[in-house]
Chains A and B, each alone.
Chain A
């Protein structure tokens, strides 16, 4: 059987919404549009779960609040632990040493070398 016919047989349509449909494809709320034929100007909102905006808002808000709480808690723990770890002065000195700048103004050219441009700058 050609693939197109298989798909036609299993996929739902507006007239036959549940015909041989895998359970995952069953819409959990009414679909706000039956087809794309007709007057476009008559179509209003077309997203899924129309009418559930408040719940979606509440879920998004809850997630964002959870994110901020998670951030404060983990950040606090991390900084506390680093501060304790660094309480030992040697560890802190070692940490500073990683990024200690080199005083390149004190670099000396080895005597007798040619300058990068080939001439003798001395």
Chain B
């Protein structure tokens, strides 16, 4: 920290991200409620544990490799350069531990070498953990998107491996490419996805779709003539409260996508502003307008097309935010509103078309809300932001275009989302460890627990009756 302003910026950044992480934790609370509420009574505890345990399994994967991938793979590698040094992000780095910012032997590099790379211990010692955690919370989100879609018939072990692949590797690889200030997709394609429509949501939706294809629908989900049956949620209140809490957590998500204060050099003038992950300027005011207007457009549209269905109305609010997120740093609130309306309308129609045509059983509509809305959002941003510079960095001259955004959708939804999960889920299916046996599915994943609990209650009741007999001498 060369001067007091730098020091203040670093300390503010540290605290800023720490706060966003706490708020973002609510996303996971909401996903848990939502998913457990949608499941049937006979599966609710298994559903809870499958979702809750993705926290530790994705966390270790992200600590081991994810954080390093984000910095090391920004050039491809092999597209705009080789692997980049990321001494602060290796799982054995001193900067991944308690570090006070002074000199230290960072993965064999001297402090001079680190300073030359623009990465001083003073900075990373304070922002590494909170920055890591903010990205980790996005990783959990990708895992939760998968988790909801596949409930009531996937084996937890298989699901956690798939969640580790998406949360610890594929999403962070696409973030390195298209959601960093030095990613090759930003440099060459002018790719822009300020609040992760595609980077997080479309990728997770594409991954979920691939897994669902191999997994197949729940027993009884489709009639003999191929038309779908509705499997009602066991607790609609829990579903709706969960979605409300996800909305709350998304405020933290938006804040975490920004770099809070950055010295933004425009010619000879230096000003301090909030910036996106690409270091392009925006304001918290602008994104607040757009977040709420996108939520509004999504809810209105979903209420209308679903004729007031609570599940779709609340999901539509989320879908609206996700659709507008790619350009919410620059949109006018009316634009955010109508982008959300278009995204939610298309996603709703696509959901039922895919369900009927391909017999895809997406239990929570995750592919629609995250996959379709995110994909539509990133492509629409290419038209609305056509010609805007994608980055202030020297050598990053590509402007935002529809084809750059479309290429981004293909790379993320298809290339890094759908394909790896299709291959890996196919392998797990081949090994017979993807889906639970039909007998277990019919009896319910909690059947053993229910039987045990009934036996425990009966035993305890018998003990109480014995006690009464002894007391009364009867």
Q: Measuring CB to CB, which residues of chain A are less than 8 angstroms from any residue of chain B?
A: 40-47, 50, 53-54, 56-57, 60-61, 64, 68, 71-72, 75-76, 78-80, 82-83, 86-87, 92, 95-96, 98-99
Contacts and interface: CB of A to CB of B under 8 A. Distances in A.
B77 interface: no
A44 B121 contact: yes
Interface string B35-49: 000001110000000
Residue of A47, A54, A68, A72 contacting most chain B CB atoms (<10 Å)? A72
Contacts, number: 101
A116 B284 CA distance: 52
Contacts of A54: 92
Contacts of B121: 44
Contacts of B99: 44-46
B294 to A, nearest CB: 38
Interface in B81-110: 91-105
Contacts of A53: 91-94, 96-97
Contact of B439 (A40, A46, A83): A83
Contacts of B64: 57, 60-61
Interface of B: 40-42, 57, 60, 64, 91-105, 121-122, 125, 155-157, 160-161, 433, 436-440, 442-444, 447-448, 450
Given A75-B155, A79-B436, A95 B443 contact: yes
A24 B121 CA distance: 33
Contact of A99 (B40, B161, B439): B40
Nearest to A88: B439
Nearest to A96: B442
Nearest to B164: A68
B199 to A, nearest CB: 26
Given A43-B102, A44-B94, A53-B91, 13 more contacts: A40-B102, A42-B102, A43-B101, A44-B100, A44-B125, A45-B98, A46-B98, A53-B93, A60-B60, A82-B447, A92-B442, A92-B443, A98-B444
Contacts of A71: 156-157, 160
B456 to A, nearest CB: 16
A82 B441 CA distance: 10
A98 B104 CA distance: 62
Contact of A46 (B100, B105, B436, B444): B100
A11 B433 CA distance: 55
A98 B42 CA distance: 9
24 contacts: A40-B102, A41-B102, A43-B102, A44-B101, A44-B121, A45-B95, A46-B99, A53-B93, A54-B92, A56-B92, A57-B92, A64-B60, A71-B160, A79-B440, A82-B439, A82-B443, A83-B437, A83-B438, A92-B442, A95-B443, A98-B444, A98-B450, A99-B42, A99-B444
Contact of A68 (B42, B100, B104, B161): B161
A57 B98 CA distance: 15
Contacts of B40: 99
Interface centre among A44, A46, A57 (most CB of B within 10 A): A44
A71 B96 CA distance: 28
B442 A95 contact: yes
A96 B443 contact: yes
A61 B57 CA distance: 11
Contact of B94 (A50, A78, A96): A50
